[in-house]
Amino acid sequence: MSETNLTQNQNREEYPPGDLVIWIFIYAELLVFGVLFLAYAFSRSNNLELFNESQKLVNQEAGALNTLILITSSYFVVRAVAAIREGRAEQCGHWLLATMITGSGFIVVKLYEFSEKFGAGISLSTNTFFTYYLSMTAFHFMHVVLGLIILAAVWFKNRRGGYSQEDHMGVETGASYWHMVDLVWIILFPLVYVIR
Amino acid sequence: MKYESQGVAKLYFIAALALFTAQIIFGLIMAFQYVVGDFLFPEIPFNVARMVHTNTLIVWLLFGFMGAAYYLVPEESERELHSPMLAKLLFWVFLVAAGLTVAGYLLVPYSTLAELTMNDLLPTMGREFLEQPTITKLGIVVVALGFLFNIGMTILSGRKTVINIVLLTGLLGLAVFFLFSFYNPANLVLDKYWWWWTVHLWVEGVWELILGSILAFVLIKTTGVDREVIEKWLYIIIAMALITGIIGTGHHYYWIGTPEYWQLLGSVFSALEPIPFFMMTVFAFNMVNQRRKDHPNKAAVLWALGCAVMAFLGAGVWGFLHTLAPVNYYTHGTQITAAHGHMAFYGAYAMIVLAMISYSMPFMTHGKPANSNKAQVVEMWGFWLMTISIVFITLFLTGAGILQVWLQRMGDNPQSFMSAQDSVAVFYWLRFAAGWFFLGGLVVYLYSFFVGGEPQEESA
Amino acid sequence: MALTLSTLAIGKFDLIDSIGGGPLVAFLLITIFIKSAMISEYFMGLKVVRWRWRMIPLIYLIIVCGLIWIAYNRA
């Protein structure tokens, strides 16, 4: 029918990598986090002193470390996808494993942070800043856990030879979700830990 | 109908429609009492009418869900029901219990009912929507357990599909969260806190799973779209429903003595509750547009699409209107809530049950996929009359609510509750009129079952 | 990929910021945008996808960062 249209789009993929459904999910999740970010930003502007005071208590080093960990982890999963696109399932498995190990590193650091806060007697009810800080990081934490579960499922299927050069949608789907988790953290960290 | 035992659903659907009719009649009585306060006093005071109106709603929806499950599960699992006898027995137990309870509400004063049913042994009565005597609640638990056993055994030993697993999860959640109705602490804050675990986590949590799976089933059957596609949609819809709905419970915790952080959590998460409903609408229309066949039962498709749209409007849009804490500060417990409640319950849950009834009844009455053209036309008249009436009821209540908030809670000289009520009476009269149209629509709908005519075959 | 590593270094620098001030926050927001945009463009692989899909995260980032900036200045 429209020959020109076809040629125009030849070098563009019709849809993003992975299952389209995960993208709808990713966009919905971004929206959830977006609302949280903005609610934080505007609440902050209404309680500036309280936020600045409380922010001194958060562990910036741990947050920065976790940023590095997540970006590295995200990079590993890029390598995993690249490997399976070339049909090298074994390498893909190694990279996925590396992704999960770094992801678990994030969990460990985060749990340390949480225990530090709870140990200091800080809870959701301490003040508005900590309501935001704890609910946003905890919500993100749950996404990291879910991301790891998805990656583990992908890893198992890959180990059983479930993916190939032609059929690797599952790997791309899991990877896309993992990138979303990373992306959200990249906004969350400077916003909640640093900007004052 | 592929399996004989699916036929038990018919009993459940008939009882559901009978109770639906009772619910509407009591709704009309109340709508009139809103403007003429002593109508039918002291025989049926407002509080009793309201109790009957809301309790019959819940019970007929439960009958509808059970019927839908009994019809859907054998077909999905590709085997007969584990025990059709048990299904029939539980039906009568549930119907008699429901009947006795309603009779108790109507015949004796509520406090006498509490004494008669030995509420003091395990006090659970006297709380909105959970007014049932403790023994009725126990009866509900027994029926639910028997039902889950029956459905569970069928699914576990048959084919497992995403649809029947999601449905089973939803029904299991329904039973589990009902258990919170037995917990009745003396502290009013704690009481309300846990009360919402039944009320909210039902309608904005596990019931959405039931809704999603029934909708998916009807769409698979009527559109012939690949199961794989429909299942993927179902997955993200229920994921979003649970992510937003569970923490969204917080939107009930703004002003009842619970910690302040609920204002944030409740606002943010419940503001996103429309997303799964929006997805459901997109999903339903997409599937119908991509249909591989033209199913002769047009009425069932209409109900399914109508359900998706009205659920989005009623639960999604009208819920969002007053879910943010700063807005809710003014609108809490006004007619805005009533407007939302009417459209959400009709759109999401009444319509999905009616969609399932519409889809399955032809198979159960004459074994063909669709009623005669004439019967379907009558049924669609019922659809439009009821749906348009509920839209008007909702709009009138919204008008009443906005005016009420303005008169009673804003401005320099806020009026008292009762004088504000007098000022918005015109909306109540309009709502009462719309209620009659709804009843008319219901009568037309019920009549469609008796139209007869030559049933339609599946067109290739 | 090399570019990603350089933004990583900026992430490190974020640590010492506590002197505050608008320009630094603007700088931080820009790094957020660059880092996140790179995640979506390269890691997620949206660079080679049709605009319709590609734009969603980018527009999202612009709106979120922009509004954070407005909120910051409102204080």
Q: Are A71 and A79 in contact (CB under 8 A)?
A: no
Which candidate, B101, B319, B355, B46, places its Cα nearest to that of B210?
B355
What's the burial of B213, exposed, middle or buried (CB within 10 Å: 0-12/13-18/19+)? buried
- Is A106 a residue whose pLDDT tops 80? yes
Between CA B304 and CA B314 the distance in angstroms is 15
How far, in Å, are B47, B49, B106, B299, B385 from residue B42 at the CA level?
11, 11, 11, 42, 33
pLDDT band at A7 (very low <50, low <70, confident <90, very high): very low
Residues 6+ apart with CB under 8 A from B397: B335, B336, B338, B339, B342, B427, B431
Using the beta-carbon criterion (under 8 Å), do B268 and A24 form an inter-chain contact?
A: no
- Is A25 a residue whose pLDDT tops 50? yes
Which candidate, C38, C29, C34, places its Cα nearest to that of C64?
C29
Dump pLDDT digits (tens) for A41-91: 888 888 888 888 888 888 888 888 888 888 889 989 999 999 999 989 999
Dump pLDDT digits (tens) for B339-355: 999 999 999 999 999 99
Residues C10, A184, A130: CA angle, nearest 5 degrees: 95
How many beta-carbon pairs under 8 angstroms link A with B?
43
Task: Find the CB nearest B275 among A28, A131, A132.
Answer: A28
- Answer with the residue of higher pLDDT: C7 or C40: C40
Question: Which chain C residues are within 8 Å of A30, Cβ to Cβ?
Answer: 57, 60
Which candidate, B195, B208, B209, places its Cα nearest to that of B249?
B195
Residues 6+ apart with CB under 8 A from B240: A25, A28, B272, B275, B276, B279
What is the enclosing helix (H) or strand (E) of B356?
helix B351-366
Determine, yes or no, domain membership for A160.
yes
- Is A26 a residue whose pLDDT tops 60? yes
What's CA C49's distance to the chain center, in Å? 20
Token pair in block for residue B213: 């799976």
Using the beta-carbon criterion (under 8 Å), do B240 and A28 form an inter-chain contact?
A: yes
- Is B196 a residue whose pLDDT tops 90? yes
Task: Find the CB nearest B259 among A19, A31, A125.
Answer: A125
- Do B and C share at least 3 CB pairs under 8 Å? no
Which candidate, B180, B173, B323, places its Cα nearest to that of B242?
B173
Q: Are B395 and B375 in contact (CB under 8 A)?
A: no
Whether chain A has a CB inside 8 Å of the CB on C3: the answer is no
Using the beta-carbon criterion (under 8 Å), do A21 and B267 form an inter-chain contact?
A: no
User: CA nearest B262 in A: which residue?
Assistant: A131
Dump pLDDT digits (tens) for B146-163: 999 999 999 999 999 999
User: CA nearest A43 in B: which residue?
Assistant: B264
CA distance B327 to chain A (A): 15
The pLDDT, as a whole number, for residue A10 is 43
Question: Which chain C residues are within 8 Å of A78, Cβ to Cβ?
Answer: 42-43
pLDDT band at C26 (very low <50, low <70, confident <90, very high): confident
State what percent of residues in chain B have pLDDT above 90.
Answer: 92
Token pair in block for residue B248: 């969204």
pLDDT band at B215 (very low <50, low <70, confident <90, very high): very high
Residues 6+ apart with CB under 8 A from B170: B206, B207, B208, B209, B210, B212, B213
**Mean pLDDT value across residues B295-324:** 95
Q: What average pLDDT does the structure give for chain B?
A: 94
Beta-bridge partners for C49: A13
The position carrying tokens 């309608």 is B203
Question: Which chain B residues are within 8 Å of A36, Cβ to Cβ?
Answer: 268
Domain that holds residue A183: 60-196
Task: Find the CB nearest A32 among B236, B260, B272.
Answer: B272
**Mean pLDDT value across residues B394-406:** 95
**Where along chain B do its domains lie?**
1-160
The pLDDT, as a whole number, for residue B171 is 96
Token pair in block for residue A103: 């992801």
Token pair in block for residue B325: 């804490």
The pLDDT, as a whole number, for residue C75 is 61
Strands (DSSP E) contained in chain C are: none
Among A182-186, C31-35, C45-49, the least confident range: C45-49
pLDDT band at B90 (very low <50, low <70, confident <90, very high): very high
Whether chain A has a CB inside 8 Å of the CB on C52: the answer is no
Q: How many domains does chain A have?
A: 1
How many beta-carbon pairs under 8 angstroms link A with C?
119
Coil, strand, or helix at residue B456?
Answer: strand
- Answer with the residue of higher pLDDT: A71 or A10: A71
Dump pLDDT digits (tens) for B320-332: 999 999 999 999 9
- Is A148 a residue whose pLDDT tops 70? yes
Using the beta-carbon criterion (under 8 Å), do C43 and A61 form an inter-chain contact?
A: no
Determine, yes or no, domain membership for A69.
yes
Between CA B198 and CA B205 the distance in angstroms is 10
- Is B50 a residue whose pLDDT tops 90? yes
Using the beta-carbon criterion (under 8 Å), do C40 and A187 form an inter-chain contact?
A: no
Beta-bridge partners for B370: B456
Determine, yes or no, domain membership for A78.
yes
Using the beta-carbon criterion (under 8 Å), do A190 and C36 form an inter-chain contact?
A: no
Q: Are B278 and B236 in contact (CB under 8 A)?
A: no
State what percent of residues in chain C have pLDDT above 70.
Answer: 68
Kindly provide the ipTM of the predicted complex, given to two decimals: 0.78
Question: Which chain C residues are within 8 Å of A71, Cβ to Cβ?
Answer: 4, 8, 11, 35
Question: Which chain A residues are within 8 Å of C74, Cβ to Cβ?
Answer: 42, 45
What's CA B389's distance to the chain center, in Å? 17
Question: Which chain A residues are within 8 Å of B233, Cβ to Cβ?
Answer: 21
Which candidate, A49, A165, A38, A158, places its Cα nearest to that of A100?
A158
Task: Find the CB nearest B264 among A28, A32, A39.
Answer: A39
**Which C residues in the span 28-47 are in contact with A, Cβ-Cβ below 8 Å?**
28-29, 31-32, 35-36, 39-40, 42-46
Which candidate, B269, B388, B256, places its Cα nearest to that of B333?
B256
Question: Which chain C residues are within 8 Å of A81, Cβ to Cβ?
Answer: 45
Question: Which chain A residues are within 8 Å of B264, Cβ to Cβ?
Answer: 39, 43, 128, 131-132, 135
Determine, yes or no, domain membership for A9.
no
pTM for this entry: 0.87
- Is A4 a residue whose pLDDT tops 50? no
**Mean pLDDT value across residues B199-211:** 95
Q: Are B230 and B220 in contact (CB under 8 A)?
A: yes
- Is A125 a residue whose pLDDT tops 70? yes
Using the beta-carbon criterion (under 8 Å), do B261 and A25 form an inter-chain contact?
A: no
User: CA nearest A77 in C: which residue?
Assistant: C43
Between CA B396 and CA B392 the distance in angstroms is 6
CA distance A185 to chain C (A): 9
Determine, yes or no, domain membership for A18.
no
Sign of the four-CA dihedral B411, B416, B420, B422: negative
Half-sphere exposure of B403 (CA within 13 A, CB side): 16
Q: Are B404 and B427 in contact (CB under 8 A)?
A: no
**Where along chain C do its domains lie?**
2-74
Using the beta-carbon criterion (under 8 Å), do C43 and A67 form an inter-chain contact?
A: no
State what percent of residues in chain B have pLDDT above 70.
Answer: 100
Residue B414: Cβ within 10 Å count: 13
Using the beta-carbon criterion (under 8 Å), do A19 and B236 form an inter-chain contact?
A: no
The pLDDT, as a whole number, for residue B31 is 96
Q: Residue A195: give its domain's CATH number.
A: 1.20.120.80
Whether chain A has a CB inside 8 Å of the CB on C55: the answer is no
How far, in Å, are A55, B262, B340, C13 from residue B321 at the CA level?
33, 18, 9, 43
Which candidate, B78, B18, B13, B10, places its Cα nearest to that of B367?
B10
**Mean pLDDT value across residues A95-121:** 94
Task: Find the CB nearest C28 among A15, A16, A195.
Answer: A195
Please report the DSSP string for B93-154 in residue order. Answer: HHHHHHHHHHHHHHHS-HHHHHHHTTGGGS---SSTT--S-HHHHHHHHHHHHHHHHHHHHH
**Mean pLDDT value across residues B82-95:** 96
Determine, yes or no, domain membership for A16.
no
Burial B272-297 (b: 16+ CB within 10 A, else e): bbbbbbbbbbebbebbbeeeeeebbb
Question: Which chain C residues are within 8 Å of A64, Cβ to Cβ?
Answer: 11-12, 14-15
| Residue B226 backbone class (left: φ over 0; alpha: ψ -120 to 50; beta: rest) | beta
Task: Find the CB nearest B264 among A24, A25, A135.
Answer: A135
Q: Is the bond leading into B42 cis (omega within 30 degrees of zero)? A: yes
Q: Which site among A131, A134, A136 would you substitute to test the B interface, given the most B Cβ atoms closer than 10 Å to its Cβ? A: A131
